[in-house]
């Protein structure tokens, strides 16, 4: 009979039972210390009622009495110990990270399973390990001198990056994580490598901007082209040099293009710096005060003009009579 009833189950029900059995088999290795508390049956009105919302009023009296004794026992100062996961103390950031993932998983399922909670915790632990590894990578790059104003050759920067990347991956691998060695470990490792590559590109761009020649190359070329074009035009106008008309027009257009390129370079280089300075400048408050004051004066003046216009219209409608 039991075999027949097992055959009548759906595949989802069978998988649900198998997952719960797997969790129960491995539950001992998930916790360092285990304490159990046997509570009496709350009653069928609680266990079989789909509309039960957590209020213990309809529960059995014995269950409510035991709950009154059980809750103070787990909240006593002797039981409030520092919680640890994978041998590391649970911090507020890790706790909120786990709660965020748990909540998102629980909201997706009507009947959440213990395995789902475990997978959510595993994912949270791996993402926290990834964030710690990225901080470790940044520390390694800063220690190598990437934060200074001195230019570092590209080959040396690449070598520093490769060394820091290897140390970061090793740091991620040896960091304790819930569910370490499972598929999620490899997935997060690939994301970590991608994040390291993106961060290296940022370091590379910052290092390239430190090179003086790369900084002044564009304005220097623009200045040379502009001076040559102006010299050709001046020689043609003053009669010092016979310049064909086509060459004169070409020099004029090149001088215009060089000026535009110089202003574009100036905008790309100094506009972000100017914006950052303006955002933290004390003159910004004074400027906003003046602008708002002028706007207020204009609004008041517009109100007076409108009132005058209304009075004139009313005067004309009454044919000048008071």
Q: What is the pLDDT of residues 274-309, one digit of tens each?
A: 666 666 666 777 777 788 888 888 888 888 888 888
Has residue 5 got a pLDDT over 50?
no
pLDDT (average), residues 207-225: 75
**pLDDT of the residue at 194:** 92
Mean pLDDT of 135-163: 84
Distance set, CA 157 to CA 137, 146, 250 (Å): 14, 8, 43
Classify domain 84-210 by CATH architecture. Up-down Bundle (1.20)
Answer whether residue 28 shows pLDDT above 80.
Answer: no
Report the pLDDT value the prediction gives residue 112, as an integer from 0 to 100.
47
Region 223-231: what's the mean pLDDT? 84
pLDDT value at 138 more than 50: yes
Of 74-78, 234-238, 267-271, give the range with the top mean pLDDT.
Answer: 234-238
The pLDDT, as a whole number, for residue 3 is: 43
User: CB–CB of 169/188 below 8 Å?
Assistant: no
Domain ranges of the chain: 2-83, 84-210, 229-281, 286-322
For 126, list phi and psi in degrees, rounded to 5: -70, -40
- Burial classification of residue 239, based on how many CB atoms lie within 10 Å of its CB (0-12 exposed, 13-18 middle, 19 or more buried): exposed
Q: Average the pLDDT over 209-227 and give the result.
A: 76
Residue 320: which region, alpha, beta or left (left: phi > 0; alpha: psi -120 to 50)?
left
Q: Which residue pairs, CB below 8 angstroms and at least 24 apart, start in 70-76?
A: 70/37, 70/39
Q: Which residue has the higher pLDDT, 277 or 199?
A: 199
pTM of the shown model: 0.43
State mean pLDDT over 249-255: 83
Residue carrying structure tokens 């075999």: 3
Provide the pLDDT for residue 265: 76
The span from the CA of 21 to the CA of 308, in Å, is 87
* pLDDT at residue 294, rounded to an integer: 86
Comparing 17 with 225, which gets the higher pLDDT? 225
Q: Which of 95, 86, 47, 81 is nearest to 175 (CA)?
A: 86
CA dihedral sign, ordered 148, 151, 154, 159: negative
Of 41-55, 106-120, 123-137, 222-236, the range with the lowest mean pLDDT is 106-120
CA 137 to chain centroid, in Å, comes to 17
State the DSSP string of 187-249: HHHHHHHHHHHHHHHHHHHHHHHT-HHHHHHHHHHHHHHHHHHHHHHHHHHHTSS---HHHHH
Contact 86/125 with Cβ under 8 angstroms? Answer: yes
160-195 confidence digits (pLDDT tens): 999 999 999 999 888 877 777 778 888 888 999 999
Closest CA to 39 of 53, 23, 56, 22: 56
Query: Is residue 87 very low, low, confident or very high in pLDDT (cuts 50, 70, 90)?
Result: low
* Residue written as token pair 């972000």: 272
| pLDDT mean across residues, the chain | 75
**Residues 91-102: tens digit of each pLDDT:** 777 677 767 766
Average pLDDT over residues 110-132: 70
């Amino acid at each position: 009979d039991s075999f027949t009833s097992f055959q009548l189950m759906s595949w989802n029900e069978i998988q649900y039972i198998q997952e719960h059995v797997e969790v129960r088999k491995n539950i001992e290795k998930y916790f360092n210390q285990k304490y159990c508390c046997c509570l009496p049956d709350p009653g069928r009105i609680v266990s079989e009622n789909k509309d039960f919302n957590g209020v213990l009023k309809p529960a059995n009296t014995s269950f409510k009495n035991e709950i009154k004794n059980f809750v103070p026992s787990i909240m006593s100062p002797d039981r409030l110990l520092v919680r640890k996961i994978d041998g590391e103390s649970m911090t507020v950031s890790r706790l909120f990270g786990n709660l965020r993932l748990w909540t998102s998983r629980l909201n997706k399922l009507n009947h959440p399973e213990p395995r789902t909670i475990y997978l959510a915790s595993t994912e949270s632990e791996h993402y926290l390990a990834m964030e710690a590894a990225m901080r470790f990578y940044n520390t390694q790059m800063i220690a190598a001198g990437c934060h200074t104003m001195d230019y570092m050759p590209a080959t040396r920067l690449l070598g520093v990056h490769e060394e820091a990347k290897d140390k970061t991956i090793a740091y991620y691998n040896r960091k304790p994580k819930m569910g370490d060695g499972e598929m999620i470990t490899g997935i997060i490792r690939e994301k970590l490598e991608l994040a390291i590559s993106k961060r290296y590109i940022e370091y590379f761009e910052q290092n390239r901007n430190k090179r003086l020649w790369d900084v002044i190359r564009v304005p220097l070329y623009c200045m040379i082209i502009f001076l040559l074009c102006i010299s050709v035009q001046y020689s043609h106008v003053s009669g010092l040099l016979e310049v064909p008309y086509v060459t004169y027009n070409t020099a004029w257009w090149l001088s215009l293009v060089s000026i535009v390129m110089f202003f574009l370079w100036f905008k790309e280089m100094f506009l972000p710096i100017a914006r950052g300075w303006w955002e933290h400048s004390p003159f910004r408050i004074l400027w906003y005060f003046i602008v708002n004051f002028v706007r207020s004066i204009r609004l008041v003046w517009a109100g007076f003009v409108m009132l005058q216009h209304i009075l004139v219209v009313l005067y004309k409608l009454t044919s000048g009579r008071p």
